[in-house]
Structure 1
Amino acid sequence: MDIKIVETNEELEQAYHIRTTVFVDEQQVPPEEELDEYDKEAIHFVGSVNGVPIAASRLRFVDSSGKLERICVLDTERGKSYGKMIIQRMELEIKNNGYEKAKLNAQTHAEIFYQRLGYETVSGEFMDAGIPHVTMIKEL
């Protein structure tokens, strides 16, 4: 998978389309919660296979951490390690910006996936957009 930082409006629209497909259409997150005010300040990523966008995410710097957000892979492309690849690319960007800690709010069904990548759960369960989540961190 080729992962790049979004630089054009077309690439940003690709990222938004993937996010909308996964979170709004598939998981029933309200559109106004999925695309929010933080999109303007975030670094967006798009992952493509053979030129076709199939994964997206965004990264923000909050306090002393890089915050991984909106990580998603289209349903037809899951199980191929693309999620792991985009997270590793985001972690590299965090380090390149001088930060040493990554943070994310994981849907509880994905908690084990993130633990396998070195993330540690640091919160109890909470609801976000009607979906149970936990906060996780990783020292980079």
Structure 2
Amino acid sequence: MVEVHVADSEVKREDAFAVRHTVFVEEQDVDEELEYDTHDETATHFVAYDGDEPIGAARLREYEDDIGKVERVAVRTSRRNAGIGRALMERLEKQAEAIGFDTLTLHSQTQAADFYRTLGYERRGAEFEEAGIPHVEMRKSLE
């Protein structure tokens, strides 16, 4: 059974970072210096487990007043299309509401935009490139 936790310990944070490294750095060839940044120090991190195995990760940080930014949502290749991303986002959104965010924004890889659309996120603006990958901005009201 999959469980999503706030990564509130060093072990859980390391597990979240390991998932991100596998998905973004190894699989998608994102430069490691771009993947890890100063926001990692202050963001709220999430990690999804199947038993003891970390299989997904995400982070949430303050973006603007009352707006949170969803970032680094990753699910290991072997576990995609099994509801892990949805479980991560549901847990993250509950945490965002508890923090007091009214709105969430994110930069979705273009190929993942339909996934976020099913969760109520709406595309804003034109496609752009980030870390060498096409993205679109999306937002969702939590009110």
Q: Classify the TM-score, shorter chain.
A: over 0.9
Instruction: Tell me which of 76, 83, 86 is aligned to 2:85.
Output: 83
What is the distance in 2 between the residues matched to 1:10 and 1:93?
Answer: 20
The gaps in structure 2 that reach 5 residues or longer are none
Q: Is 1:7 aligned to 2:8, yes or no?
A: yes
Match of 2:70 in 1: 68
1:14 aligned partner, one-letter code: D
> Could you say what secondary structure the match of 2:125 adopts?
coil
Point out where structure 1 has 5 or more consecutive residues left out of the alignment: none
Shift of 1:121: 0.3
Partner residue in 1 for 2:52: 51
Name the Cα RMSD after superposition: 0.8
22-31 or 4-13: which moved more? 4-13
Q: Does 1:113 align with 2:133?
A: no
Q: In structure 1, what residue type is equivalent to 2:39?
A: Y
What percent of counterpart residues are identical?
A: 39
TM-score (norm 2): 0.95
Length-normalised TM-score, structure 1: 0.97
Supply the distance in 2 between the matched residues of 1:81 and 1:68 (Cα, whole angstroms): 18
Corresponding position of 2:131: 129
Q: How many residues align?
A: 140
Q: Which residue of 1 aligns with 2:37?
A: 36
CA distance in 2, matches of 1:112, 1:44: 23
Runs (4+) off by over 6 Å:
none
Determine the C-alpha separation between the residues in 2 that align with 1:90 and 1:7. 13
Shift of 1:128: 0.4
